[in-house]
């Protein structure tokens, strides 16, 4: 028992050390400034908490005994602390001795190392480091290990309370978004200096955390009146958000929610209907370009000469933003049907390849039809929306519009999910042949999925064009499709709140991490890989997806499933089926 606790502690400590080393090497301390070490320790405490709580079921957490837990936590903290502090001391000695480490470790500048000691870079150059630096760092991380163990115990206590007296944890989950929102508002008020230079980024992060925790809160609330009331309050908070955030934060949130719109559309195609579409950007591009044609006809050589010959002046938009909405959506929807028809008979990988091609075709069209689209020079000066004669195109207003658009789309998707068509999509995703033999017209059902998904992408594209004001074919590369697909997968396929969370994580977090430049993509990729191993169904999966990926569905079958190793779903029906 003792040995096992120590072993586990060593292992967890080594993992934490690896993560800390990575964060230090990519220059995170530089960004954090004097607070670097405490913040890293806090992060380590969270890592320890997740590692120490281990088992996923409530039962496993309730069974953790305090003594071995603290032993494991302290060992882990000590291991991580000693190793990390020594690493930092090593780099400090190298830098002070004037060794040039940058060719290998390009981020190990004096500022980075000095931040870990909580001093100015000048002190490092002068060779004056605090004498207790090493001990301080090691102690801080050891403390993180103890804190991690403590967190597990606190969670255990809260969970046990849940059973006896009505859910402290639930109330905490439901209150969290409002606490975070209040924090965001407080951070924005004049005179607050928390976070120094990074205050704006910190606020953005907190705003995203508030939205994300709101989704969890909704899930924790009891269905019925409690949930409705909470939804109303959260909605009020969400509406208030654009008015408290600044230009930069609103701009990031705008793009995040444009991707929420896209993700919700793709979620219908991939999550509901199970059609793997890798060319989804095509409909986004169609929406953006059709709006550009309508709102900036002068930017297109062919269009402007045609309109001039018809005697229509081309110095302004043809129709307003609002009147353009049905046109762009219909155009994108038509694109969806046109793509759908040739791929009706394709499944799985083949479908993915063909749709991938379709996405590229649209982009190449935009690039090479320079008479119509002005080619790589792009469509410039696309008109922003106007409301009562005032421009409605600054980041705050775009964020409001994106929120509105995402809300409408989420509502439509939610209603469709529970409808006759939604059931047909799921049936088709599970077994195409049987679905057809049960009376589902596959052609119609697939085309509807493509068309509805495309309609939503078209709307997102229009808003994107209005936001950017200048659009180029390069804005619509394959990576937009991949980003959108990843956010659907990370969030949880087929889950509407999951899409929102996925967009926050995949489109929002990189903006927060902007300081670490070239490493953010690597960091992100690593996070994605870990995520797919640990939680393949996504962060906030739909109940149906969870059922598909984790065999144990109902509470009745849980104990049996816990004993069996994870088998692919077909297995169990086979041996459970034949007597």
Q: Rounded to the nearest 5°, which phi and psi values hold at 386?
A: -120, 140
Q: How far is the CB of 575 from other proteins (least distance, A)?
A: 11
Nearest to 319 by CA among 466, 470, 456, 455: 466
Q: How many CB atoms lie within 10 A of CB 254?
A: 24
# residues contacting other proteins (CB under 8 A): 41
Q: How far is the CB of 544 from other proteins (least distance, A)?
A: 5
Whole-number Cα distances in Å, 286 to 280, 328, 398: 10, 8, 19
- Using CB under 8 A, pick the residue from 94, 168, 442, 527 that binds other proteins: 442
Comparison of 448 and 499: residue with beta carbon closer to other proteins = 448
Site for other proteins in 8-27 (CB under 8 A): none
Site for other proteins in 410-439 (CB under 8 A): 411-412, 415-416, 418-424, 426-427, 430-431, 433-439
Comparison of 381 and 557: residue with beta carbon closer to other proteins = 557
- Cα separation, 251 vs 394, in Å, equals 8
- Using CB under 8 A, pick the residue from 53, 363, 467, 544 that binds other proteins: 544
Nearest to 24 by CA among 109, 94, 100, 132: 109
Q: Rounded to the nearest 5°, which phi and psi values hold at 547?
A: -60, -40
Q: How far is the CB of 60 from other proteins (least distance, A)?
A: 23
Give the 3-state secondary structure of residue 415.
helix
Segment lying near other proteins (by CB under 8 A), choices 105-113, 199-207, 291-299, 543-551: 543-551
- Using CB under 8 A, pick the residue from 190, 389, 554, 565 that binds other proteins: 554
Please give, one letter per residue, the 3-state secondary structure of 350-389: HHHHHHHHHHHHHHHHHHHCHHHHCHHHCECCCCCCEECC
Comparison of 191 and 223: residue with beta carbon closer to other proteins = 223
Asked if 556 is part of the footprint of other proteins (rule: CB under 8 A), the reply reads: yes
Mark residues 394-413: x for contact with other proteins by CB under 8 A, - for none: -----------------xx-
Burial letters for 20-54: b for 16+ Cβ neighbours within 10 Å, e otherwise? Answer: beebbbbbbbbbbbbbbbebbbebbbebbbebbbe
Comparison of 515 and 553: residue with beta carbon closer to other proteins = 553
Asked if 452 is part of the footprint of other proteins (rule: CB under 8 A), the reply reads: yes
Asked if 455 is part of the footprint of other proteins (rule: CB under 8 A), the reply reads: no
Q: How far is the CB of 410 from other proteins (least distance, A)?
A: 12
Helix axis angle for 496-503 and 199-220, nearest 10°, is 170
Comparison of 371 and 558: residue with beta carbon closer to other proteins = 558
Nearest to 263 by CA among 405, 158, 427: 405
Q: Check if the beta carbon of residue 27 is closer than 8 Å to that of residue 97.
A: no
Asked if 563 is part of the footprint of other proteins (rule: CB under 8 A), the reply reads: no
Asked if 558 is part of the footprint of other proteins (rule: CB under 8 A), the reply reads: no
Q: How far is the CB of 399 from other proteins (least distance, A)?
A: 25
Comparison of 2 and 420: residue with beta carbon closer to other proteins = 420
Comparison of 351 and 452: residue with beta carbon closer to other proteins = 452
Mark residues 302-341: x for contact with other proteins by CB under 8 A, - for none: ----------------------------------------
Comparison of 15 and 412: residue with beta carbon closer to other proteins = 412
Helix axis angle for 321-340 and 442-468, nearest 10°, is 140
Number of residues that make up the chain: 579
- Using CB under 8 A, pick the residue from 264, 448, 485, 496 that binds other proteins: 448
Asked if 569 is part of the footprint of other proteins (rule: CB under 8 A), the reply reads: yes
Nearest to 451 by CA among 342, 343, 329, 348: 329
Q: Check if the beta carbon of residue 280 is closer than 8 Å to that of residue 269.
A: yes
Q: How far is the CB of 263 from other proteins (least distance, A)?
A: 19
Query: How many angstroms from the chain centroid is the CA of residue 38?
Result: 26
Query: How many angstroms from the chain centroid is the CA of residue 55?
Result: 25
Binding interface with other proteins (CB under 8 A): 411-412, 415-416, 418-424, 426-427, 430-431, 433-442, 448, 452, 544-545, 547-548, 553-554, 556-557, 569, 573, 576-579
């Amino acid at each position: 028992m003792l040995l096992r606790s120590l072993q586990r502690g060593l292992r967890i400590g080594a993992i934490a050390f690896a993560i800390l080393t990575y964060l230090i090497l990519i220059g995170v301390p530089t960004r954090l400034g004097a607070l670097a070490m405490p913040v890293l320790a806090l992060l380590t405490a969270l890592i320890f908490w997740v590692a120490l709580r281990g088992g996923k079921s409530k039962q496993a957490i309730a069974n953790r005994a305090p003594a071995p837990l603290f032993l494991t936590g302290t060992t882990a903290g000590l291991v991580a602390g000693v190793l990390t502090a020594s690493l930092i001391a090593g780099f400090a000695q190298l830098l002070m001795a004037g060794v040039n480490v940058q060719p290998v470790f390009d981020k190990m500048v004096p500022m980075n190392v000095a931040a870990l000691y909580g001093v100015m870079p000048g002190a490092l150059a002068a060779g004056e480091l605090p004498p207790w630096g090493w001990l301080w760092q090691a102690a801080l991380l050891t403390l993180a290990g103890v804190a991690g163990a403590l967190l597990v115990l606190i969670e255990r206590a809260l969970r046990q309370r849940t059973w006896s007296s009505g859910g402290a944890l639930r109330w905490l989950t439901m209150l969290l978004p409002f606490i975070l929102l209040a924090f965001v508002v407080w951070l924005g008020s004049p005179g607050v200096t928390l976070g120094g230079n990074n205050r704006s980024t910190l606020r953005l992060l907190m705003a995203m955390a508030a939205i994300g925790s709101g989704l969890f809160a909704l899930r924790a609330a009891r269905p019925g009146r409690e949930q409705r009331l909470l939804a109303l309050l959260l909605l009020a908070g969400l509406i208030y958000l654009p008015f408290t955030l600044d230009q930069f934060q609103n701009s990031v949130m705008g793009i995040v929610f444009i991707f929420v719109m896209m993700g919700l559309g793709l979620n219908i195609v991939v999550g509901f209907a199970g059609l793997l579409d890798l060319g989804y950007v095509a409909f986004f591009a169609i929406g953006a370009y059709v709006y550009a044609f309508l709102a900036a006809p002068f930017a297109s050589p062919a269009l402007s000469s045609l309109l001039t010959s018809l005697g229509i002046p081309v110095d302004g938009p043809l129709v307003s933003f609002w009147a353009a909405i049905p046109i762009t959506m219909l155009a994108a929807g038509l694109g969806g049907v046109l793509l759908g028809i040739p791929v009706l008979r394709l499944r799985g990988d083949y479908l993915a390849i063909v749709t991938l091609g379709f996405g590229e075709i649209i982009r190449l069209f935009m690039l090479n039809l320079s008479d119509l689209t002005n080619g790589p020079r792009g469509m410039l000066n696309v008109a922003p929306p106007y409301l009562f004669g005032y421009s409605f195109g600054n980041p705050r207003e775009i964020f409001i519009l994106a929120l509105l658009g995402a809300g409408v789309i989420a509502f439509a998707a939610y209603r469709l999910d529970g409808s006759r068509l939604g059931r047909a999509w799921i049936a088709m995703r599970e077994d195409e042949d049987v679905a057809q033999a049960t009376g589902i017209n596959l052609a119609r059902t697939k085309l509807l999925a493509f068309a509805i998904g495309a309609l939503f992408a078209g709307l997102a594209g229009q808003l994107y064009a209005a936001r950017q004001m200048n659009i180029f074919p390069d804005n619509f590369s394959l990576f937009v499709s991949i980003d959108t697909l990843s956010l659907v997968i990370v969030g949880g396929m087929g889950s509407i709140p999951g899409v929102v969370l996925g967009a926050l994580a995949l489109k929002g977090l990189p903006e927060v991490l902007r300081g670490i430049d070239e490493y953010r993509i690597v960091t992100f990729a690593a996070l994605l890989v870990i995520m797919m191993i640990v939680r393949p169904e996504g962060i906030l999966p739909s109940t149906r997806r969870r059922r598909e990926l984790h065999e144990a569905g109902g509470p009745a079958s849980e104990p049996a499933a816990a004993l069996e190793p994870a088998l692919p779903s077909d297995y169990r029906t086979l041996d459970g089926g034949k007597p």
